Amino acid sequence: MEKCQADTRETLGPGATGRLANWQKHESDLDGLLQFIKARLRTEARENGHKLELANKLSLERIVVYHCPELFEDQDITWAKATLQGL
């Protein structure tokens, strides 16, 4: 998550980084963190995940699809894949 936050700051700027930084509230609570990620996947800022993908940076979507898919439901993975593809 720290790498994702750093890549977001570098690629998208402080606004997106500030929203993502709320993950730290759930740092010691895996269930809370998973719920935070699932909620962020479905926001109006989905294009941020695609922008990070185009820049070859770590996004929440990339975490869901490639790093920890076993922690997420099929619909979360499908949603994340669509975002990475710009759909």
| 44-78: pLDDT as tens digits | 678 899 999 999 999 999 999 999 999 999 999 99
Single-letter code of the amino acid located at 8: T
22, 60, 8, 31: CA torsion to nearest 10 = 20
d(CA 44, CA 20): 13
| pTM: predicted TM-score of the whole model, two decimal places | 0.89
Using H for helix, E for strand and C for coil, what is the string for 24-41? HHHCCCHHHHHHHHHHHH
pLDDT tens string 27-39: 999 999 999 999 9
